[in-house]
Structure formats: C-alpha cells, structure tokens
C-alpha cells in the first residue's frame, strides 16, 4: 500500500540531511510506511522524472554485509546474490541486492518500502565467532538518491568519468566511482512510470556527510537540462 | 617579515611557518620574492639565503585542465544547521565544517570565555560527530588493537574504554582516540577528525600483512556524536536515559554503555577530554539533530549552552590534554609528550615498539611541558612562537590560550633538557619581544581528576 501520511520533515527521530534544501524547493513531506519522504515537489513531477530528476531516498531502509562468509550467510537467509561483483539482482520482495565485491553486499528497499528484506537481515544478524559476516550501517553511513530521466547520461557526464552509454553500462550494472569528487556507488535500475514507459534511472549512494554538497553539484549539473528534484508519489503512482 | 621577526630566519623555516610557496603555483610566483624579503630582513644576500626546493608542477598547466569543473567536497554533521541557527561561527577542519564558537565575531573572546565557564560551572554541549569512528570486529579484534596501538587491549573488559595512542614504524605519535569494547569481538575505536582516514588505511595495510581474523570498517559518517559536559551533565542526561544507569558507581569514568537516549539507540562513553563530568553520546547519523534538540530541551532549565571547538581547545588545555598534530609533530615520541604511561611494556609487539625502546635508552633532546605566563601585561604567546635562550632557538610553543578558569595564559611548549622541571624559567619570543614564562606541572586544572570522576 502506498499510503502517504502527512508528516513534517523534522518531526521524527530520523531526518534526512537534505530536508531544509527540499523545503526551500517547495517539497511536500509525508510518512510512507515508517519513513519520512518527499511526497511531491510539483504537479508535474511525473513529467520531470521522464526528463531529468533526482529523488531523495535517504530515509528508506537499506543495509550491508561484508566478510568472507557474507555470501553464504546471505544465501542462507534467502537472498539471491548477484552472480558477479558490480551487479545487482532484484529480489522476490522487490528489494535490490548489489554486489560490491565478492565479500560485500548492499541491500536496498523497494521504493514502496513494503519489502522487509533489508530490515529483516539487519534484525537477524548477530556477531558470531563462527561466521565471518559483519553488518554495515548503510542506512546512516550513506545518503541515497535516485536519478532518472532521458537526459541523465548527459548530466552524469558532467560530474563523473564513467561512460554510461546503454551498450557500455547495462541495467543492474554497478559502478563504484567518483561523482563530483566524492566516492559514490551508482547502480543502474531503470524504473517503470505510471504511463507504462520505462525511464533510465540510477541509484546514487554517497557519504551522508557530503550529501548537501552532492545535491548542489547535481542540481547545478541538471540545470542545463531543466532537471529538478521530484517526489516519490509520482514514482509509485 | 612577521616570520623573520618571530625568529624563523632560514628561508626553509619561513616557508613552513608562513606556508609561502605552498599554493597552487608551488612557489613559481613567490619563491624569489620570499627569498628577497628574508634576505632583506636578515641582512643577507639572496645568494646566502638561497631559495626553497622546487617541486612539481614543473611545466605550465594547460588551460583545458583549468577550465573544467572543480569540485571541493564539504562535509556537514546532522546537527550542522542547529549550529548555524544558534549563531555559530564555523571553521573548516579538512572538509568538515565545525562550530568554532557561538556569537558575533566582534565578541569572539567573550563568547569563548562564557562557553568555557558554562562547562566548568554548569553544563555544555559540543558536536563531536567529526571524530573518526572505526569498528574492529572478529575473533582477533583484541589482538589486532594490541598491535596497532601502544596500550594493552586484548584483556580490555567489556563495557570499558581505554585511551588508544598510535605510533608509526618510527615510533612517532600519529593519532589517538578511545577504544570502547561493546562485545567480545567488537571494539569501537575513535580517532582524530583529521587522522581517521590515515588510521583506517594503516589498519588495512597492516592487516594485509598480518592476516588476522578481523573486519575493519570506517563508520565515521554512520555515527553522530555529542559530548555533554559539566557538573550538571548527569542531571540532564538522566532525563533522557531510561535504560542506562548513569550513577557514578554503575557507570564509572571510562565506562561505555549501549542503550537509548531520547528514544534513540545510542552508544554512551564516559570520557573527560574537557576535564569535567562528561558523556559522549553517539547515535546513528540521521538521528543527530533529534538528539541535539532533545538534549538542549532537557538542559534548558539547567542553563545548557552549546560550546564550540575554541572553548573545547581551552578546556582540554587547562586539563593538560594534548591534541595530536598540534602538540605533536613528525618527530614526537610518546615519552617526549608525557605519554609514556600509555605505552605497554608487557606486550610482545606493537607498531613502533622497537624504535621506542631504543629511543628511550637515549637522553631526550626535548620535552613537551606546561607553562604559565604570570605577567598580566605580557602579550599571550601563540602556537609556533619560539622558546629562546639568548639568541638561540631551544623550543617552540604548541598551544597557548588565556585560561578563563585560571585567569592567566597557559600553554604547552617543547623545551630542552634542563628546562623541564616545574619552576623552570623559560623565555618565549612573542612578536619579536621576550616574554617570561614558568614551567608548571600538568594538568593546570583539577590535578586529582575529582571533577571528571564525579
């Protein structure tokens, strides 16, 4: 269920570091299955997502695990591990699991925040002397942005050295690279919009303490193409 | 000119003292001009002073390189905007922005003194989120820390913190922090704001050689932290802590606990960097602002006030605590900076142990000591001012501030043998004029540590 509940961005214990910037840009905030997110910026958010947009997903659940026995442990928990590093695999419940190395994995919630895998894994994991698998605080160490739109490749070319051309960078491929001089994880994960069209999309995760800097850099790079922030409602419609 | 007046007469020292020639042109524009100024100021010729060493870039940069986008990443804590709203003047520490003090620029010294007094007499709150945080986990975690830090950690009890001093292979002090043991196999180690990336890289490098069964994670950004300090700290914190007994026996100095503060999952560390009863509260990064709001609200009736880095520097100086990188340099050994107590002689190995043992056999050529300036009319010495003996440089000041608590300037300086005993007279060259100072025992404040043990 995609039920947005009216909520102030600073009413909860967990607050995105971007909430002030988004407030200034006219964001309407709401609670979604326990997370305070931007519901929408403007009535044309859907059109914006097609053209060029960024959505702050930092309040959505995510987790990470690493260690030489991390793949075995995750498999035991029912996680479908990507076949090779720098790939991502959609899970049955809608979560996305990205393999950052043979021994390190990142689990992202679905956009509806209905998939429980990330939270369930975090709750299940315990320090165990016999299992070399260690949890990582990905919900707090990294901010999470979703970038979408037909101008996305051109925009990214201004801030990142990777060639994201379709034939070079397939859906669910992962790049661990530098964006605006910040270490970042980019995961291509094209999204389907309400009108049935599919649009190019990347998840971008960067150090949470620099997300305001990243937001400004991306906004600056997007201006040339009319890019703007958007809310989650248009993605979930 | 100022550098030569302060006693740095060699062109290489002028470069390091003033940073002249360390900009993007690497001295292309300034090297000769600097040499001429030094020559003029010291009555020598440029041929005699020489010029500083030339380093890349040796060739002109192409305009194409310079025309591209430039990015200068900035880092903010989750509480950053609360500092701005409270009138903080921010300073940069690497990429981080930290509150220097709260209040107008023209009231700087008064603001800092008021913040110091409020911590000493009441309760204050400082954002320590930029401190490095590293988790070392696994069956060999204790052994790993035993090797990378100078103290003993293998037998560190659960629920306890220990001071952690790091030296490099040359026995030089390179970082410090606190090691907190939350589980048999989990140590949460803090590191300095500017040093954590190097500490983390060093840890990875060393374990690539040792192959111990540990996982090392740099979790600096994942945790936000505050230090609530002052005689009323416990009163304020206890309003928000339901599952942690903050009593002095249940939660003694250098204890660590996990629980909830204002409903937020927290790691609480009882530390005393500023020399008062104090607790560092570390919470997940995104909950930092909510923690700040809750503590400020709970402390309102007790007169809680935020304090910045400048007040923290004064408070720690009064307590005689060193700052790595400010009170140490590329040659500082633990014994020189009075940290011999933090070096274990019982364990078989730690990085730097062998050379420290050798160095300790030889007489020291300098020591870090505390000093006070008793003359109320004397100018306050500053960092890097020289300790002199006649026309000879014998040491330098590493920290100095007017102490609101003691009512006079206090500081630390490297001095030569013969000047280390309390009561020794030293002379510091301040803006070209000699200032008399007296060596005193550290700490300046609360030598029995009664305040932090409340």
Query: Would you list the DSSP string of B254-277?
Result: TBEEEEEETTEEEEEEE--TTSSS
Cβ contacts of A178 on chain B, cutoff 8 Å: none
Return the pLDDT at B51: 83
Cβ contacts of A180 on chain B, cutoff 8 Å: 71, 73
Cβ contacts of B75 on chain A, cutoff 8 Å: 207, 209-210, 213
Pull the structure tokens for residue B58.
Answer: 């040796």
Instruction: Please state, in angstroms and rounded to a whole number, the distance separating the CA atoms of residues A19 and A28.
Output: 10
Instruction: Please state, in angstroms and rounded to a whole number, the distance separating the CA atoms of residues A91 and B340.
Output: 55
Cβ contacts of B85 on chain A, cutoff 8 Å: none
Instruction: Please state, in angstroms and rounded to a whole number, the distance separating the CA atoms of residues A177 and B160.
Output: 39
User: For A90-144, what is the HEC assignment?
Assistant: ECCCCCEEEEEECCEEEEECCCCCCCCHHHHHHHHCCCCCCCCCEEECHHHHEEE
Cβ contacts of A15 on chain B, cutoff 8 Å: 78, 286-287, 289-290
pLDDT > 70: what percent of chain A?
Answer: 99
- Crossing angle of helices B108-121 and B309-318, rounded to 10°: 60
A187 contacts A172 by C-beta, under 8 angstroms: yes
B267 contacts B182 by C-beta, under 8 angstroms: yes
Instruction: Please state, in angstroms and rounded to a whole number, the distance separating the CA atoms of residues B115 and B310.
Output: 9
For residue B106, how many other CB atoms are within 10 A of its CB? Answer: 8
Instruction: Please state, in angstroms and rounded to a whole number, the distance separating the CA atoms of residues A16 and B281.
Output: 20
Instruction: Please state, in angstroms and rounded to a whole number, the distance separating the CA atoms of residues B312 and B319.
Output: 11
CB contact under 8 A, A159 and B69: yes
Domain with CATH 3.30.1360.120 in chain B: 74-362
B230-to-B82, B86, B113, B299, B454 alpha-carbon distances in Å? 21, 20, 15, 11, 10
Instruction: Please state, in angstroms and rounded to a whole number, the distance separating the CA atoms of residues B140 and B126.
Output: 34
Residue B271 has pLDDT above 70, yes or no: yes
**pLDDT tens figures, B375-409:** 999 999 999 999 999 989 999 999 999 999 999 99
Instruction: Please state, in angstroms and rounded to a whole number, the distance separating the CA atoms of residues A43 and B226.
Output: 41
Residue matched to tokens 């002199």: B388
Residues 6+ apart with CB under 8 A from A45: A53, A230, A231, A233, A234
Mean pLDDT computed over B110-121: 98
Q: Please tell me which residue of chain B has the smallest CA distance to A70.
A: B215
Which among B336, B360, B306 is positioned nearest to B84, based on CA atoms? B306
Confidence of residue B65 (pLDDT cuts 50, 70, 90): low
CATH code linked to domain B74-362: 3.30.1360.120
- Crossing angle of helices B141-148 and B196-210, rounded to 10°: 110
CB contact under 8 A, A180 and B71: yes
A35 contacts A19 by C-beta, under 8 angstroms: no
Nearest to B76 among A17, A67, A140 (CB): A17
Interface of B with A (CB under 8 A): 69, 71-78, 80-81, 95-96, 137-139, 183-186, 213, 215, 217, 219, 221-223, 262-264, 284-287, 289-290
**pLDDT tens figures, A42-79:** 888 999 999 999 999 999 999 999 999 999 999 999 99
Cis-peptide into B443, omega within 30 deg? yes
User: Nearest-CA distance from B450 to chain A in Å?
Assistant: 36
Instruction: Please state, in angstroms and rounded to a whole number, the distance separating the CA atoms of residues B117 and A10.
Output: 32
Return the pLDDT at B57: 66
**pLDDT tens figures, A91-109:** 999 999 999 999 999 999 9
Instruction: Please state, in angstroms and rounded to a whole number, the distance separating the CA atoms of residues A216 and A220.
Output: 6
CB contact under 8 A, A134 and B77: no
Q: Best interface-test mutation with A: which of B68, B70, B71, B295 has the largest number of A CBs within 10 A?
A: B71
CB contact under 8 A, A181 and B286: no
Cβ contacts of A59 on chain B, cutoff 8 Å: 286
Return the pLDDT at A82: 97
Residue B431 has pLDDT above 90, yes or no: no
B101 contacts B311 by C-beta, under 8 angstroms: yes
CB contact under 8 A, B284 and A14: yes
| Lowest mean pLDDT across A192-196, B116-120, B313-317, B365-369 | A192-196
Instruction: Please state, in angstroms and rounded to a whole number, the distance separating the CA atoms of residues B291 and B370.
Output: 36
CB contact under 8 A, B77 and A212: no
Please count the residue pairs, one from chain A and one from chain B, whose beta carbons lie less than 8 angstroms apart: 94
Residue A115 has pLDDT above 90, yes or no: no
Return the pLDDT at A158: 93
CA angle B337–B135–B125, rounded 5-degree value: 65
Confidence of residue B58 (pLDDT cuts 50, 70, 90): low
B72-to-A213, A216, B220 alpha-carbon distances in Å? 9, 12, 20
Residues 6+ apart with CB under 8 A from B324: B173, B174, B175, B176, B192, B195
Q: Best interface-test mutation with A: which of B134, B201, B285 has the largest number of A CBs within 10 A?
A: B285
CB contact under 8 A, A58 and B286: yes
Return the C-alpha torsion angle B317, B321, B322, B323, nearest 10.
-80
CB contact under 8 A, A127 and B186: yes
User: Nearest-CA distance from A227 to chain B in Å?
Assistant: 18
CATH code linked to domain A62-227: 3.30.1360.120
CB contact under 8 A, B222 and A141: yes
Residue matched to tokens 């994995």: A105
Q: Does A165 touch chain B (CB under 8 A)?
A: no
Residue A1 has pLDDT above 60, yes or no: no
Q: Best interface-test mutation with B: which of A161, A209, A221 has the largest number of B CBs within 10 A?
A: A209
CB contact under 8 A, A142 and B221: yes
B109 contacts B290 by C-beta, under 8 angstroms: no
């Amino acid at each position: 269920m995609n039920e947005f509940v009216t909520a102030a961005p600073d009413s909860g214990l967990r607050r995105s570091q971007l909430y002030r910037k988004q407030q200034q840009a006219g964001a309407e905030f709401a609670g979604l299955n326990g997370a305070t997110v931007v519901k929408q910026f403007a009535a044309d958010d859907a059109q914006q997502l097609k053209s060029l947009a960024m959505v702050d997903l930092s309040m959505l659940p995510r987790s990470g695990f690493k260690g030489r026995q991390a793949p075995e442990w995750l498999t035991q928990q029912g996680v479908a591990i990507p076949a090779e590093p720098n790939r991502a695999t959609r899970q049955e419940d809608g979560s996305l699991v990205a393999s950052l190395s043979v021994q390190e994995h990142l689990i992202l919630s679905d956009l509806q925040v209905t998939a429980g895998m990330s939270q369930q894994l975090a709750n299940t994991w315990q320090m165990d002397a016999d299992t070399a698998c260690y949890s990582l605080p990905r919900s707090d160490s990294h901010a999470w942005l979703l970038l979408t739109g037909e101008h996305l490749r051109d925009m990214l070319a201004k801030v990142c050295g990777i060639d994201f051309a379709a034939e070079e960078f397939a859906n669910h491929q992962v790049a661990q690279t530098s964006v605006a001089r910040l270490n970042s994880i980019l995961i291509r994960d094209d999204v389907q919009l309400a009108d049935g069209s599919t649009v190019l999309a990347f998840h971008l995760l960067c150090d949470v303490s620099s997300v305001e800097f990243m937001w400004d850099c991306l906004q600056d790079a997007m201006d040339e193409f009319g890019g703007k922030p958007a809310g989650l409602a248009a993605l979930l419609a | 000119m100022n550098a030569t007046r302060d006693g740095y007469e060699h062109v290489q020292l002028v470069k390091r003292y003033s940073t002249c020639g360390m900009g993007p042109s690497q001295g292309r524009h300034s090297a000769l001009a600097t040499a001429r100024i030094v020559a003029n100021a010291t009555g020598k010729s440029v041929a005699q002073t020489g010029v500083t060493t030339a380093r890349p870039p040796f060739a002109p940069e192409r305009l194409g390189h310079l025309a591209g986008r430039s990015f200068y990443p900035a880092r903010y804590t989750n509480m950053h905007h609360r500092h701005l709203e409270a009138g903080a003047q921010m300073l940069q520490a690497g990429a981080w922005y930290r509150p220097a003090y709260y209040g107008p620029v023209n009231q700087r010294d008064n603001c800092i003194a008021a913040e110091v007094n409020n911590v000493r007499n009441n309760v204050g709150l400082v954002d320590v989120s930029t401190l490095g945080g590293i988790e070392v986990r696994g069956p060999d975690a204790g052994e790993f820390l035993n090797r990378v830090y100078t103290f003993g950690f293998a037998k560190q009890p659960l629920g306890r913190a220990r001071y952690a001093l790091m030296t490099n292979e040359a026995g030089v002090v390179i970082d410090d922090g606190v090691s907190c043991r939350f589980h048999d196999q989990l140590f949460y180690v803090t590191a300095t704001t500017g040093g954590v990336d190097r500490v983390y890289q060093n840890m990875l490098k060393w374990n690539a050689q040792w192959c111990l069964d540990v996982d090392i994670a740099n979790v600096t950004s994942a945790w936000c932290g505050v230090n609530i300090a002052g005689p009323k700290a416990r009163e304020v914190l206890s309003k928000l802590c339901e599952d942690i007994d903050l009593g002095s026996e249940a939660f003694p100095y250098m204890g660590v606990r996990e629980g909830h503060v204002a409903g937020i999952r927290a790691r609480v560390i009882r530390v005393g960097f500023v020399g008062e009863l104090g607790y560092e509260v570390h919470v997940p990064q995104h909950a930092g602002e909510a923690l700040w709001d809750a503590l400020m609200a709970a402390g309102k009736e007790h007169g809680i006030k935020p304090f910045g880095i400048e007040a923290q520097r004064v408070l720690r100086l009064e307590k005689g605590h060193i700052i790595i990188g400010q009170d140490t340099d590329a040659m500082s050994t633990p014994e020189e900076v009075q940290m011999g107590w933090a070096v274990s002689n019982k364990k078989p190995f730690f990085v730097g142990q062998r050379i420290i043992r050798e160095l300790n056999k030889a007489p020291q050529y300098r020591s870090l000591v505390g000093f006070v300036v008793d003359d109320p009319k004397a100018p306050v010495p500053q960092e890097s001012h020289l300790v002199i003996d006649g026309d000879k440089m014998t040491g330098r000041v590493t920290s100095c501030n007017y102490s609101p608590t003691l009512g006079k300037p206090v500081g630390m300086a490297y001095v030569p043998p013969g000047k280390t005993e309390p009561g020794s007279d030293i002379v510091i060259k301040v803006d070209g004029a000699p200032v008399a100072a007296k060596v005193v025992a550290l700490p300046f404040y609360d030598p029995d540590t009664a305040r932090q043990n409340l």
